[in-house]
Amino acid sequence: MKQQVRLTLWDFDDIGSLPDAALAIPLEKARVSVEEATPREVSMIVHSCLRDLSISATPRRNKLLAESLDQVQFFIWLYKEKHGTDFRILIELQRSKGDSFIFFEISRIILHTLKCRGNVEVESSEIISSTHQPERLYNEASFEFPQTERTEDMGAIMYTIVEMMKEKRVDANLLGLQKLYSSTRGGSGASIHLAGAVLQGGACDCDFLQTSIERYIYRNHKGNTRNDFEIKVYRAMHFYALAVLANSLCIWSAHTMNMQQIIHSQRWLGDDGLLFALISELSEVEIYPHNSYQAMRCLNILLRHSMKVRQRTLDLGAASLVSLSQCTGHSSHALLAKESDAVMNILAGALSKPTSISRHHSI
């Protein structure tokens, strides 16, 4: 497994095997020195911290390339530096791309954990992240729509998003999708309107948003990619499309919107429907754990609200992929582990007592 490959990167005790601390100082870096510790011990703390923060990591020669749910990428290096007559380990984090503020928030937590030798409880919620589930961001019971948002802001937000996603440049399309993602996170009046457009379509722009999200989830753009830049952009759009769908389902679920006509349709439950696409996403969990996390968020909501979807999920053989995601989550991605545990419990309940579905949860 990838986790095992990552753990072997610094799987040795000799500090002398590490490269000397680099003389070049990157513009955006964070570092800390650790005494009386071996590379193996430091590596275990780093991997534990990355797992708790739901940050994926891939070996790149003698360093790790880490990526957060916010699409912040950074390198993790281990060096040796002179300390008196001996050597100590220098851990350095270097931002590659993404939000600088979030990078330094992540760095602060990782380096503090290293300094405390791992004796710190870390949670993903410590990071001021744009990827937290929307139900954490507002109180369901007190949800209200400001009248001004219903009439003016809602139309302006929709217009901006659609215009950007209709541009011929893929970078503009990505910005539009990111705007749609951020607009389906909170409790504003526009959020539930956009969620409805994504889930059920409608006239003009609503139908465009629905079909666009599905196109990026199905990766129907593959034949149009011309270079590495576009491949990377489309990969990011695939992630944001999954996240937008998850956010939209969360919003409708939190406000007890009737999803029966939507999720019981062929569009969702057909042989190549959205449910099949979400389950298929789990097959790449070891390569793209963040994508699998967003897919699992969707599955968690769908399964909690529909017995018919539960049965269809079992018919599609999802149990083994959910189990794989569960194992990967517990080893390297805390948020994925949480969602996978919930989905596995629902599927286990459906297998053991298929008829004991509460009226509250089925539609």
pLDDT tens digits, one per residue of 243-256: 999 999 999 888 76
Mean pLDDT value across the chain: 83
Q: What is the pLDDT of residues 106-139, one digit of tens each?
A: 999 999 999 887 555 655 544 544 444 433 333 3
pLDDT at 122: 58
Q: What is the mean pLDDT of residues 321-333?
A: 95
Q: What is the pLDDT confidence band of residue 66, given thresholds at 50, 70 and 90? A: very high
pTM of the model: 0.84
pLDDT at 254 (0 to 100): 86
Residue 318 has what pLDDT? Answer: 95
Tens-place pLDDT, residues 141-168: 333 434 444 444 778 888 999 999 999 9
Give percent of the chain with pLDDT exceeding 70: 82
Range name among 2-16, 26-40, 280-294, 338-352 with the lowest pLDDT average: 2-16
Q: Mean pLDDT throughout 215-232?
A: 79
Q: Report the distance separating Cα 67 and Cα 212, nearest Å.
A: 25
pLDDT in tens, 12-26: 778 888 888 877 666
pLDDT digit string (tens) for 271-284?
A: 999 999 999 999 99
How far, in Å, CA of 187 to CA of 322, rounded? 30
Percentage of the chain lying above the pLDDT 90 cut: 55
List, in sequence order, every residue forming a beta bridge with 89; answer none if it has no partner.
34, 80
Please report the pLDDT score of residue 342 as a whole number.
Answer: 97
